[in-house]
Amino acid sequence: MYAITLVIQCPDKKGIIADVTSFVYQHKGNIQYIDQYVDREKGAFFMRLEAELDEQLCSYQAFTTAFEEGPATVFNMDWSYQPIAYKPKMAVFVSKYDHCLYDLLGRFKSGELGVEIPFILSNHPDLAPIAKAFEIPFYHVAVSKETKAEATQEQLRLLKEHNIDFIVLARYMQIVPPALIDAYTSNIINIHHSFLPAFPGAKPYHSAFERGVKIIGATSHYVTEELDAGPIIEQGVAQVSHNHSVAQLIAKGRDLEKMVLANAVKNHVDKKVMVYGNKTVVFT
């Protein structure tokens, strides 16, 4: 027995669900979970499906090949799949803030995240001791105006060497170079410390304080070339009052950042997030 997750995106047409579910049934599979969404305005169909199959009756290879030649071709699908048991390889990029890193590593050690973490990378050496305490390799790749191109090459080399599937920017305070974005489209998750689209860019807690908002937020999104403008995966908010100084907003925001980033990572790992245009479908 093996379990597989299928994720499908295609133009909406009559009969897709019937066709896909019948396909699974005919291949002796049992659908464990199905989620579906149609964007009627754009005529786009989305589906995520978990199925259990029997290696004896239909191998993983046979199933996926048949699907590609069958429904995927018929409905012109953009699709992907993954064994449910697979643990994606996640690289964590950090700078000097440690709260998101502690949170991710605590969850990782607790067995909450279904990933491997081949390495942590930083443009500063400060957080190396945390990596060491959690027994994860740490690479210090400094980034300056002069060394930027070189640093990008080093990052790409490490990512390739470790077969990284996706990158988490856990308060990484550097612009991600286009070469990385290209190599990891829809696979770089950032946490921005505001309720986007309010307060993009630097120092959002200061801006929130100035504007006198009564609620602050945090936003996880896929990184695109336009800063803080990529597809939003998850957002969280917390109530604040006149009584909160900037420092207290920052402190309160840390918990939001941790939660929102962790939830985005979990949904990404479970292949529950689908990107289309500059938006996401997130099945729950």
CA distances from 242 to 153, 208, 212, 214, 266 (A): 46, 11, 7, 8, 34
Strands of the 30-39 sheet, one edge to the other: 30-39, 44-53, 2-11, 78-83
| Residues 166, 189: Cα–Cα separation, whole Å | 8
Of 134-173, which residues contact a copy of itself (CB under 8 A)? 134
- Which of residues 32 and 163 has its CB atom nearest to a copy of itself in the complex? 32
With binding defined as CB under 8 A, does residue 189 bind a copy of itself? no
Q: Rg of the chain over CA atoms, in angstroms?
A: 21
b/e map 135-166, b = 16+ CB within 10 Å: ebebbebebeeeeeeebbebbbebbeebebbb
- Which of residues 144 and 241 has its CB atom nearest to a copy of itself in the complex? 241
With binding defined as CB under 8 A, does residue 280 bind a copy of itself? yes
Site string for a copy of itself, 10-49 (x = CB under 8 A): ----xx-xxx-xx-xx----xxxxx-xxxxx---------
Among 1, 56, 85, 110, binds a copy of itself (CB under 8 A): 110
With binding defined as CB under 8 A, does residue 217 bind a copy of itself? yes
228 belongs to the catalytic site: yes
Under 8 Å CB-to-CB from 205, ≥6 apart: which residues?
193, 194, 216, 246, 249, 250, 253
- Which of residues 96 and 157 has its CB atom nearest to a copy of itself in the complex? 96
Nearest distance from residue 17's CB to a copy of itself, in Å?
5
Which residue in the list 103, 126, 228, 255 is annotated as catalytic? 228
Of 68-107, which residues contact a copy of itself (CB under 8 A)? 98-99, 102-103, 105-107
- Which of residues 151 and 264 has its CB atom nearest to a copy of itself in the complex? 264
With binding defined as CB under 8 A, does residue 1 bind a copy of itself? no
Active-site residues, by number, are 228
